[in-house]
Amino acid sequence: MDAIRSVLVPIHKEGYRFIALFAVAALILFWIADPLGWLGVLATAWCVYFFRDPPRLTPLRSGLIVSPADGLVQAIGEAAPPQELAMGEEPRLRISIFMNVFDVHVNRIPADGEITVLHYRPGRFFDASLDKASEHNERQSLRMTTADGGDVAFVQIAGLVARRIVCDVFEGQKVQAGERFGMIRFGSRVDVYLDEGIVPMVVPGQRAIAGETVLADARADEPARHGEQR
């Protein structure tokens, strides 16, 4: 039974209607021609895979900031947070995580605390891997006060083929690290903005796992890390 459960990963609630649509399309394609029907089956299987929602084991300790998204740590640098979050115009450390269409797209809270600001802004649909996507693309911005008094922002950004940002939290809500808060369909990016003085624990090119990978540690006093492919 445990082996079966390890294979049958839960599906996010947002995926059921899409899976049903893909399955109906596959049946119609079978009616038209068998080869087309099998293509529909493959597409349906991919849709199930896309909306998977596997459980995660979140490290719990004050000061830790865990990744809100699965994907590639694309860039780490200084940037001003979105104006709608009222965090000032001074640049902060920003960690950008790019999700391709094969990554898990369920997003998770990066730390224990309280959501203080939520703001949705419509926009363009540039490739999420481009730096200008942070400024011009459709986005859902969230700001939170962590349990130890820190100030963290994380921004869901729609990508080239993404056309729907889902955010299930509200202002004033108490949240926990690793808790699910939404998702983005179908290929996108999440930016995380940290307080001054916090050093990243990841490097560009590293794969991050939502709810598990530690992006930063407010208690750490080590220098920024460097990495190389081996």
Q: Which residues are catalytic, by number? A: 188
CA atoms within 13 A on the CB side of 60: 8
CB 94 within 8 A of CB 102: no
Task: Please state, in angstroms and as integers, the Cα–Cα distance from residue 202 to each residue in 43, 58, 66, 169, 211, following that order.
Answer: 34, 16, 11, 27, 14
* Omega within 30 of 0 (cis) for the link into 186: yes
In sequence order, the 6+-apart residues with CB closer than 8 A to the CB of 80 are 88, 89, 90, 91, 92
CB 114 within 8 A of CB 216: no
Helices (H) and strands (E) in the chain, counts: 4, 13
| Bridge partners (DSSP) listed for residue 92 | 79
User: What distance in Å separates the CA atoms of residue 183 and residue 122, rounded to the nearest whole number?
Assistant: 16
User: What distance in Å separates the CA atoms of residue 204 and residue 216, rounded to the nearest whole number?
Assistant: 13
In sequence order, the 6+-apart residues with CB closer than 8 A to the CB of 31 are 37
